[in-house]
Amino acid sequence: MDPQQFVPALTERIPYDLGAVDLRAITTDDEHNAAGSYAYPPGPRNARQAIAFWLSCPVPDGVMRSVGAAHTRLMRERQEEANQVLARGALMPGARQRRVAAESLLDRVRFIDRRNLRSVIRIAKLCEYAGDLPEGEQERVYACVFVLDTGEALTPVDLVEVYDLTAIWSAFEDNRERRDQAQYEAIVETRNIWARSVSSSSPLRPY
């Protein structure tokens, strides 16, 4: 649907005979996006819809803490590794190769500015999400340049590569969803145990 055109109420967009209701045709991209969440995003439609969703989707605080901590830890480990390489002896054989190796490690040390963290998470998730778009729409997303709050300009693919986010991809999971699921499963299991216990002790149980 053209967002510039007047959009009638959803009820009016549903065919009167109800023969076929094409959700892609009757819901706008904004309506489609409104039903999604960080853990359960809506199905990808096109580049504009995908970008709009991930730029507006709330990022859970737990994910912010997880990604920030995991990335800082990764970068500090690389710094320490580079320092250890240099400390093995500048005058020993292979010193030049060690220095080159250390510099290569340090080149990969790039901390995420706190001001950019939320945007980095959103764009990284967009990069993953765009993989399910039609090929032409994928390329539109991957070619789009995003300017972060600090003025740094990167495409989604460059952002993931520059910050080496694939190395900490598990940190992007919303653990709150997993905890909720685990709690739900525990409640169901408790109820099942209780139901079996009541059933086995019931005087009405057939013998």
Tens digits of residue pLDDT in 117-165: 999 999 999 999 999 999 999 999 999 999 999 999 999 999 999 999 9
Tens digits of residue pLDDT in 56-91: 999 999 999 999 999 999 999 988 888 887 776 555
Long-range contact pairs involving 153-160 (C-beta distance under 8 Å, separation at least 24): 154/123, 156/123, 156/124, 156/126, 156/127, 156/130, 157/127, 159/120, 159/123, 159/124, 159/127, 160/124, 160/127
